[in-house]
Chain A
Amino acid sequence: MTDLLNAIVLLSNFLIIPGLSYGSQLALGALGVTLVYGVLRFSNFGHGETMSFGAMVTILTTWGLQSIGVSIHPLPTALIAIPVGIIVTIFFTLLIDQTVYKYHRTRKANPVTFLIVSIGVMFFMGGLIRFIIGPGDQIFFDGTRFILKAKEFKELTGLDEGLSLKMTQGVTIITAIIIVAGLFWFLNHTRTGKSMRAYSDNENLALLSGINPRKVVLVTWILVATLATIAGTLYGLDKSFKPFVYMQLLLPIFASAIVGGVGNPVGAIVGGYVIAFSELIMTFAYKKVVLYLAPEGTTVDSLIQLLGTNYKIAVSFIILVIVLIIRPTGIFQGKTL
């Protein structure tokens, strides 16, 4: 019985909790990508940098708050700085939309043009961010680091395996649930949300029925900026803020969106968890788990690892390829909102 518990705790500590928090971060990022794709119909490569920008503003606000002594111990101060980050990022994305994307939208440019333009925006934002906050690591986490420490858990339960839950992991998972619930309520129960879905479904029909396209675009960017800021800040809180990492994050985020079905919000969320968990499950070494579950006296020489950790990135690509071959629209039918 204890062996079984040990095995469960072991898996929770190394697989389930990290997978849930990493998956939530990917899901929030993929939701932003999917919204832009669904409503504005292009792949927004600037999304990673939008996350980075939002996180940066939040960090600067956090530092400001910390210097005047504001704190919500044991929660990180960054949580009350997020609204400021969201507002500034909304203004920034709207500015970019008005100065860059609007021009191409009125000319009805094809999606590839938009894609290339968004890569340009990505480099511009990346440069701006490095200009303002620098390329280095910024640690802005404060408050209590752990909700549950591995050592305390061991003492509490008397098990051999520890279970740790970081404050940031808890905050990430809970925030993700709240945000996703809020977004779905908005899309399904408000007039604006419904008009967004209609616009995404069939643009011409939506225009005929009197939906204001400018309002739809505006609301989409507001949602995207909000999601990006929250996702970026949560990621920065959990790991640490470093501009370079956000560009790297773009790949798994796009993989998540595509695996789930581009343009489909449910798909983005499921895709996020699929990518996060498959990376962990495929590269985890199951030696100890097997030892706990196997009868006494069994010895295992190998690590029982399906793939070396160096193949971690390959896993998301393999899943991407398989999904695109077997089900090109993604797990959930994509391209509708």
Chain B
Amino acid sequence: MKKLALAIASAALLSSSLVIAGGHANNVKIGIVLGFTGPAESLAESMARGAELAIKEISASRMLLSNAKVSYVRADSTCVDASAAAAAAERVIGSDKVDAIIGALCSGATISILQNVAMPKGVLLFSPSATSPALSTLEDNGLFFRASPSDARQGQVISELLQEKGIRSIAMTYTNNDYGKGLADAIQSNFESAGGKITINIPHEDGKGDYGAEVGALAQAGGDILVVVGYLDQGGKGIIQSSLDVGAFDNFFLPDAMIGKSLIKAIGPDLNGSIGTVPGTDSNGAQIYAQMAEKDGFTAGPYSPEAYDAAALTLLAMQAANSKDSDKVKAKVFDVANAPGVKILPGELGKALKILKNGGEIDYVGATAVELIGGGESSGSYREILVKDGKNTTVRYR
């Protein structure tokens, strides 16, 4: 027994020293820290596959730094548990020795990782999907970027869209967290300053069995449409189901976190006619990416293209900085993301690495036509969604 324990201990020691040796060699490791469990779990898998697609593409090209291999490790940040998020990030940095983190999925988890782990440890954090306006102004030492636009922008787009549809009064409910509150506030201020009326704006908690009381209050306040700033697997679904059951509302507005197949499957034909927005562009990058995803065996769901772009931009910035040190890499993210330079679409990452290696410049377009502004967030173009015949159809881009 003692011998066995000794053997295991020495084996563990050996393998960990190997890992350290590997870390020093010419290898890059990326942590993919997303909410694999929790309210947005149905989005996480397709996002992780997106980020991995970019990593594999760059690794296979053997063009990064001096022929570096890129590996990745997944960790679960959950969505609502700030301490679990920080612990997951702590783990990938501490024991997996990652050079940068792609994540987190939800705004609350992202803020927690940024403040508790990424900033103190000086590791670059690139979120594909955190959209809270708070992240625009938060202290980040320049280490934080996101491939998604701030919800301040989405609030503006949603307000414009509602105005165009001739909707003058809305009832609104939001999931009680950083994301929900941030977006609801953005919608409220934009919609009210455009002369619209918000009859009621109440929070709801996720993971409840019964939303009768919330729907009761919403129904009494009334409105032309119910704006559900929630999660499609959680309270958002419960609110819509309950509203339909009592006949409180027929039309729903679905912001980004409510767009997904699982909602349509759960609610059925009653959801037809609802409208929504989700980040997206009409650049052919999105189509190319969708095909690449299909070839790799997964469907490019919401924020999956953003995840691909986040991973690609992180690694391209490393190439531009000719280093994997986050402090040097962070200065190069804007250079590779924005003009001037050669336009880079998904699947052309090898080409981009080559240009950068030869001292050229690139303007990464990617799957979402990403253009970084402000402190490092996407400028934001949105896809207007109409649920029609049990499918999310694209009306237009704005």
Point out residues on A near B: beta carbons under 8 Å: 13-15, 18, 22, 135-137, 139, 149-151, 162, 164, 166, 235, 239-240, 242, 244-245, 248-249, 279-280, 283-288, 303, 305, 308-310, 312
Contact = CB atoms under 8 A, between A and B. Distances in A.
Contacts of A240: 266
A312 B215 CA distance: 12
Nearest to B209: A245
Contact of B247 (A151, A235, A305, A310): A151
Nearest to B200: A303
B242 to A, nearest CB: 9
B207 A312 contact: no
Contacts of B209: 235, 239, 242, 245, 248-249
A151 B245 CA distance: 11
B204 interface: yes
Contacts of A288: 220, 222
Contacts of A310: 176, 202-203, 205
5 contacts: A18-B210, A137-B237, A150-B246, A283-B217, A284-B213
A14 B247 contact: no
B235 to A, nearest CB: 11
Given A15-B216, A286-B220, A245 B247 contact: no
A60 B190 CA distance: 48
Given A285-B221, A288-B220, 6 more contacts: A14-B219, A14-B246, A22-B212, A235-B209, A239-B238, A280-B212
A285 B246 contact: no
B132 to A, nearest CB: 20
A303 B220 contact: yes
B214 interface: yes
A139 B246 contact: no
Given A150-B246, A309-B202, A137 B216 contact: no
Contacts of B214: 309
B213 A164 contact: no
* Interface of chain A, main secondary structure: helix
Nearest to B237: A137
A287 B214 CA distance: 15
Contacts of A279: 213
Nearest to A289: B220
A154 B209 CA distance: 28
A228 B197 CA distance: 46
Contacts of A242: 209
A288 B220 CA distance: 6
Given A239-B209, A303-B221, A18 B246 contact: yes
Contacts of A15: 216
A164 B204 CA distance: 23
B220 A284 contact: yes
Nearest to A161: B247
A312 B238 contact: no
A285 B216 contact: yes
Nearest to A290: B220
A45 B41 CA distance: 28
Nearest to B199: A303
B247 A284 contact: no
Nearest to B219: A14
Contacts of A162: 246-247
Interface string B278-315: 00000000000000000000000000000000000000
Nearest to B217: A285
Contact of A287 (B212, B220, B237): B220
B156 interface: no
B247 A164 contact: yes
Contacts of B37: 135
A309 B204 contact: yes
B233 interface: yes
A284 B213 CA distance: 6
A29 B156 CA distance: 46
A166 to B, nearest CB: 6
Nearest to A286: B220
B247 A283 contact: no
B24 interface: no
A207 B220 CA distance: 58
Nearest to B220: A285
Contact of B213 (A235, A239, A244, A309): A309
B202 to A, nearest CB: 6
A135 B233 CA distance: 12
Interface string B176-220: 100000000000000000000000101111011110111111011
A308 B202 contact: yes
Contact of B217 (A136, A245, A303): A303
A139 B266 contact: yes
B233 to A, nearest CB: 7
Nearest to A304: B220
The 6 closest A-B CB pairs, nearest first, are A150-B247, A285-B220, A18-B212, A14-B216, A245-B209, A162-B247
A312 B247 contact: no
B216 A284 contact: yes
A230 B210 CA distance: 18
Contacts of B200: 285, 303
A271 to B, nearest CB: 17
Interface string B213-253: 11111011110000000000100011000000111000000
Nearest to B42: A136
A55 B239 CA distance: 23
Contacts of B246: 13-14, 18, 150, 162, 164
Contact of A283 (B208, B216, B219): B216
Nearest to B173: A309
B27 to A, nearest CB: 35
